[in-house]
């Protein structure tokens, strides 16, 4: 079996739903920017790319109509460059990368792009016209359950307190604030943002600028401020807007090549995708997914957690992220994840609580962040993982190339 190499992995900024820089920017335009930049930074001719696969959690409206194929045309790829869209909810972006890697490993392809897109402003959570099956609702409504409700379930069932969640959220914000200040997000592509503005005569015209930072980071976050927020999903709950991931707009893309293509185009790979796995868990506590997916990843690769030098564990909610770290023995050792520790290896530059969780984009976004930090630290093995709506977990293992 061939190897599949990550050559270039980039992302747009993550910007807040409704109030952020991308609220009036079409998702196709976000994706177009990052895909074009991936190809340009690699120094590749577009005709070399055989296929583009895009992860999207709600592939409809502006991000529908098989955006994988649409975007190949928008970006000026030749007709021979094909495209597809894949949906595994929160791991859709990683699923797209993994599927492209599998195609390369099997010899079906040599050069491909895997990525993700989600405009949570333009296409609402749940889509524009959700239609759950009435019989399924009677028999197993949990498959349609609110993600916030699952976060409350995890907190209640596994004794994750409000104070623990707020502390975790605080450190996520501080890590992100530090990374932003020190310009550590090397994978971030300045991306055109558009806003329609009315002039004095009542005419509307688009105003465009380059957005070059994640606009959801709250540098002034305090424990006191987090403690004042009301529960968001249950009257007496502990899950708040402050200790949950931000709903966000963004896109990310990764260029993947076979060894033959790496040599042919004379490029230096960052890493190889060593393994990818998914697992199923109870839908009403879907957040526990990484606590099962990462150990499964270790078992199937014959590795141990201590072999891994850096983790990106998506912070859908602080409650579930904490539980997953607890199960892996990585929570109580706070130096592994706190902002004031130079030994941290979990979400080292902040997670989705600070940077946002643009659903179908997140898996691809985390890949780009992981590649940046693996290179910066010279870490041999890195893992990204996330929980998935409906009751699943996913995890990918990457090996840094010399």
Residues with catalytic annotation?
Answer: 90, 357, 387
Q: Which long-range CB contacts under 8 A does 177-182 form with residues at least 24 apart? A: 177/217, 177/218, 177/219, 177/221, 177/350, 177/354, 178/339, 178/349, 179/349, 179/350, 180/213, 180/214, 180/217, 180/219, 181/219
- Its sign, for the CA torsion 383, 174, 147, 114, is negative
Q: What is the C-alpha separation between 330 and 204, in angstroms, rounded?
A: 52
What residue has token string 């070059």? 212
What are the angstrom distances between the C-alpha of 172 and each of 62, 298, 379?
31, 26, 21
Q: State both tokens at 348.
A: 């080292």
How many other C-beta atoms lie within 10 A of the C-beta of residue 134?
8
Q: What is the C-alpha separation between 144 and 166, in angstroms, rounded?
A: 27
User: Which among 26, 90, 94, 24 is positioned nearest to 54, based on CA atoms?
Assistant: 94
Q: What is the C-alpha separation between 153 and 155, in angstroms, rounded?
A: 5
Q: What is the C-alpha separation between 330 and 383, in angstroms, rounded?
A: 14
Q: State both tokens at 46.
A: 């577009």
Q: What is the C-alpha separation between 77 and 86, in angstroms, rounded?
A: 20
- Its sign, for the CA torsion 91, 293, 164, 351, is negative
Q: State both tokens at 351.
A: 């997670």
HSE of 192, CA atoms in CB hemisphere, 13 A:
13
In sequence order, which residues have a C-beta less than 8 Å from that of residue 3 and are 6 or more positions away?
105, 258, 259, 272
Which SS3 state, helix, strand or coil, does residue 178 take?
helix
């Amino acid at each position: 079996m061939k190897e599949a190499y990550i050559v270039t992995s980039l992302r747009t900024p993550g910007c807040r739903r409704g109030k952020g820089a991308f609220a009036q920017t079409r998702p196709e335009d976000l994706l177009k920017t990052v895909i074009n930049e991936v190809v340009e930074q690699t120094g590749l001719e577009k005709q070399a790319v055989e296929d583009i696969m895009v992860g999207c959690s709600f592939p409809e409206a502006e991000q529908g109509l098989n955006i994988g194929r649409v975007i190949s045309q928008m970006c000026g790829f030749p007709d021979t460059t094909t495209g597809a869209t894949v949906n595994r909810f929160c791991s859709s972006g990683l699923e797209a990368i993994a599927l492209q890697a599998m195609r390369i490993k099997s010899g079906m392809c040599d050069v491909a792009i895997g990525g993700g897109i989600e405009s949570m402003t333009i296409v609402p959570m749940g889509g524009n016209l959700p239609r759950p099956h009435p019989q399924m609702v009677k028999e197993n409504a949990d498959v349609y359950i609110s993600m916030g409700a699952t976060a409350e379930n995890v907190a209640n069932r596994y004794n994750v307190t409000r104070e623990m969640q707020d502390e975790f959220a605080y450190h996520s914000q501080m890590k992100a604030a530090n990374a932003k200040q020190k310009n550590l997000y090397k994978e971030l592509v300045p991306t055109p943002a558009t806003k329609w503005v009315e002039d004095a005569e009542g005419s509307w015209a688009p105003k465009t600028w380059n957005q070059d930072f994640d606009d959801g980071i709250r540098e002034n976050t305090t424990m006191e401020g987090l403690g004042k927020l009301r529960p968001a999903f249950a009257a007496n709950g502990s899950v708040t807007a402050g200790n949950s991931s931000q709903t966000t707009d963004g896109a990310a893309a990764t260029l993947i090549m076979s060894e033959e293509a790496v040599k042919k185009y004379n490029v230096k790979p960052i890493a190889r995708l060593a393994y990818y796995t998914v697992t199923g868990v109870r839908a009403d506590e879907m957040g526990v997914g990484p606590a099962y997916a990462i150990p499964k990843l270790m078992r199937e690769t014959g590795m141990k957690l201590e072999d891994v030098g850096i983790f990106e564990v998506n912070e859908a909610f602080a409650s579930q992220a904490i539980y997953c770290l607890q199960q892996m023995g990585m929570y109580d050792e706070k130096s592994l994840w706190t902002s004031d520790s130079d030994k941290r290896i979990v979400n080292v530059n902040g997670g989705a609580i600070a940077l946002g969780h643009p659903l179908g984009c997140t898996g691809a976004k985390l890949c780009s962040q992981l590649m940046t930090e693996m290179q910066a630290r010279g870490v041999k093995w890195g893992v990204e993982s996330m929980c998935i709506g409906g009751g699943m977990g996913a995890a990918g293992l990457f090996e840094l190339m010399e």
